[in-house]
Amino acid sequence: MTLRLTTHTVSTDTHDGAVLLNQRTGHYWQLNQTGAYALQRLLDGHSVDQVAEEFVAHFGIAPAEARHDLTAMTDRLRSSGLVEAA
């Protein structure tokens, strides 16, 4: 699944990650560097499985854990109205 920011979401990079703001609700999310990197890869068109593979190679975590964490993050961002399927 390819993701994109919703039309009412703005993203700003910070020194330690990124902040996403839903301009309709005023709710925001702060992502650490790993979360911001993962989200950017997903917004660039990479799949959860592709990003999970990168995390497995880089951090040495189990593939199922990487997919679970990425899916949990994207599910929460979607339910918050910050991202949507492209």
* pLDDT at residue 1 greater than cutoff 80: no
Please tell me the distance from the alpha carbon of residue 36 to that of residue 17, in angstroms, as a whole number. Answer: 5
Instruction: Supply the pLDDT for residue 30.
Output: 97
Q: What pTM was estimated for this model as a whole?
A: 0.93
Please tell me the distance from the alpha carbon of residue 24 to that of residue 20, in angstroms, as a whole number. Answer: 12
* Confidence band of 78 (pLDDT split at 50, 70, 90): very high
Instruction: Supply the pLDDT for residue 83.
Output: 97
Of the candidates 13, 12, 2, 56, the one whose C-alpha atom is nearest the C-alpha of residue 21 is: 12
Which H or E run contains 4? strand 3-5
